[in-house]
Amino acid sequence: MNDIVRKHPNARMSQIVVHNGVVYLSGQVSPDLAAGSPPVEDQTRGVLARINELLAEAGTNKSRLLTAQIWLADMAEFSKMNSVWESWIDSSNPPARTTIGVALAHPKARVEITVSAAI
């Protein structure tokens, strides 16, 4: 019996993995990167919109988040990213969260976010 569900897989990863009532999303970057390098606020909005879509596809939503990991290309943009995050997050049900400054794989990405959520 295969109790692990993988959605949108490629050779490297799956966008969504569901196991034991928990959905795990791969790291999401802004879908607008092909058009340039939007400001971190716009990239964060794009990432969070994509997370909403993937969570809905898995049968859950942001009020059920368990964890969030946020990677920023420049920690000087922490407050800008946070302003968008705070307007999006369900403040009654915030996840455990970590934010880390890193060199991101996509050269135009300013922010990448991955989450897990209960179904």
The tens place of each residue's pLDDT in the chain, 119 residues long, gives 579 999 999 999 999 999 999 999 999 999 988 877 899 999 999 999 999 999 999 999 999 999 999 999 999 999 999 999 999 999 999 999 999 999 999 999 999 999 999 99
- Residue 14, pLDDT score: 95
Instruction: Pick the closest to residue 73 from 43, 117, 48, 115 (CA basis).
Output: 43
Count how many Cα atoms sit within 13 Å of the Cα of residue 81 in the half-sphere of its side chain: 25
Q: Give domain limits for the chain.
A: 4-118
Rounded to whole angstroms, the Cα distance separating 67 from 117 reads 7
Question: Residue 47: its pLDDT value, please?
Answer: 98
Q: Which CATH superfamily is domain 4-118 in?
A: RutC-like (3.30.1330.40)
| Residue 34: per-residue pLDDT | 80
DSSP class of residue 50?
H
d(Cα 29, Cα 4) in Å, to the nearest integer?
Answer: 24
User: Among residues 7, 16, 119, which one has the least CA distance to residue 61?
Assistant: 119
DSSP bridge partners of 98 = 69
pLDDT at 35: 78
